[in-house]
Copies of this chain bind each other. A is one copy, B any other.
């Protein structure tokens, strides 16, 4: 957690099994504020795209609800979508994730937020891929770099005055 990327800490990324990637990242903001940045479509549009324009087409944050984001980057338009399996406000979101480029290759993501009690929040995200090959494909496509860019953009959003 000491390497710096544009002033932001890198996420701690590990691989607990051949189908799982675990991500851990601390944010300098209270849990309620992090939760809101993760679940309010207007705020998500401001950081998820890592500086690229992001259109939140659907985002119904409740069990069974769908989400779909379209990122407009210099190299083209990229759609991402999924569905909420479970939502426990402030604490936990379990959802599916897929990229239009590999349709039907679905990842199950379980994200939890822990209040560290000092105005900081620990986010842990475990991605369970459908197959080991799906995991290799996503890691090879630069998953970790994209993630760190998104989290750096989220840091900036969280640092803004309320």
Contacts and interface: CB of A to CB of B under 8 A. Distances in A.
B103 A64 contact: yes
A95 interface: yes
B130 A100 contact: no
A36 interface: no
A96 B83 CA distance: 13
Interface in A27-65: 63-64
A137 to B, nearest CB: 13
Interface in A125-152: 128, 130-131
Contacts of A131: 128
Interface stretch (A3-11, A69-77, A104-112, A114-122): A104-112
A94 interface: yes
Contact of A104 (B82, B100, B103, B104): B82
Q: Which 3 A-B pairs have the closest CB atoms?
A: A85-B104, A64-B103, A96-B104
